[in-house]
Amino acid sequence: MSKNSEIPAESDYEQKVIESFSKHVKTYDRHAQLQRSMAERLAALIPHPFSHKTLEIGCGTGVFTRHLLARSPSTIILNDIAPAMIEHLKNHLEVPTQTKFLVGNAERIQIPKVKLIAGNAVFQWFRNPGKTLRRFYSGLEKEGYLAFSTFGPKTLQEFRDTAEFQSPTTLLSQKRWKTLLTQAGFELIAHQSETRQIFFQNTQSMIKNLQQIGAAPLRMFKPGELRQLIRDYDRNYASPQGVYTNWELFYFFAVKK
C-alpha cells in the first residue's frame, strides 16, 4: 500500500486477509519461526494443566494449538477466519474427538462460554480491538482467562518508514492494550514485552517471508515502487549478516473480574 492508498473497506479487507492466508497455508509452518517462538512464550503464561473449555482465536495451522492441547482442556474450540487453515490443521495435527471448529471472523462470531480465550500473533488483525475485547469478556465464564500475544508499533518500523506506508494491521502500544483490557473489565495478571531483531539475506527475501506467512495480504506497491523500496532498504539496512528489521512483541494474561 503506497502512502497515497487507503485502508480498504471492511468486507474487502476481510476477503483479502482470507485469500492471503489461504494462498500461503502450505508454506506458513516453514516460515513462521517467530510465531512459533511467540507461542512458546505465551504458553508459559497459561497454567498447566488447564482442564477447562478453551477457545483459540486464529488457530491457523496449529502452531499454538499444540501448546493448548498439551494442557488437556476438557474441550477445545478452534477458530480461524480462513477455512483453508482449518482444513490444513485437521490434516496435519491430531486433535481430540471432542474438538470443535468455528470458521469466521473472530470479531463477529458468536463467542461460546469458555474458561479460556487465547490467541497467538493474531490480535493485530482486529479492526476494533476494544469492542472485540468486550465481546470476549462477555463470552468468558466467571473468573475466565484471556491470553494473547500481538505485535507492537515498532514492528517493521524500518520497513514502514522506508516504504512510507501505513500498516494494514492494528499495532497498538502496550499501554493502549492495557487500557483496552481494563475498559473491557479485565484484570491484568501478567504482561511481557520484547524486541527481536531478525535478519534476512536481502529485502526481497524479507518481503517473501512476510508473504509466505500471509502477513502481507494487501497489494501494497506498484512494480516500480517495489523495486525502489528494495533498493532503498538494501542500502539503508544492510549489515554483514544481511538486512534486518525489528519486531516488538507483547504478551498478556488477564482474568475476568
Q: pLDDT, tens digit, for every residue of 22-81?
A: 877 887 778 788 999 999 999 999 999 999 999 999 999 999 999 999 999 999 999 999
Which of 146, 210, 156, 145 is CA-nearest to residue 177?
Answer: 146
Q: How far apart are CA 155 and CA 215, in angstroms?
A: 12
* Superfamily of domain 10-155+169-199+246-256, CATH level 4: Vaccinia Virus protein VP39 (3.40.50.150)
pLDDT for the residue numbered 98:
92
Distance, in Å, from the CA atom of 38 to the CA atom of 125, rounded to the nearest integer, reads 16
Mutual orientation of helices 174-184 and 129-139 as an angle, nearest 10°?
40
Domain boundaries, the chain: 10-155+169-199+246-256
Separation of CA 135 from chain center: 18
In this structure, what C-alpha cell is assigned to residue 11?
A: 468486507
CA 166-169-175 angle, 5° bins: 100
Burial classification of residue 27, based on how many CB atoms lie within 10 Å of its CB (0-12 exposed, 13-18 middle, 19 or more buried): middle
Question: Which pLDDT score is estimated for 7?
Answer: 44
Segments of the chain with pLDDT less than 70: 1-10, 214-221
Residue 78's pLDDT is: 98
Say how far apart CA 114 and CA 52 lie, in whole Å.
8
* Distance in Å from the first CA to the final CA of the chain: 41
Q: Decide: helix, strand or coil at residue 72.
A: coil
Beta-carbon count within 10 A of 11 CB? 8
**C-alpha–C-alpha distance, residues 39 and 22, integer Å:** 21
8 Å CB contact between 135 and 109? no
For residue 9, what pLDDT is reported?
A: 56
- C-alpha dihedral (6, 12, 17, 23), degrees to nearest 10: -120
Contact 199, 254 (CB under 8 A): no
Q: What pLDDT is attached to residue 195?
A: 96
pLDDT recorded at residue 120: 98
Q: Are strands 114-119 and 100-103 parallel, antiparallel or unpaired?
A: unpaired
pTM of the model: 0.89
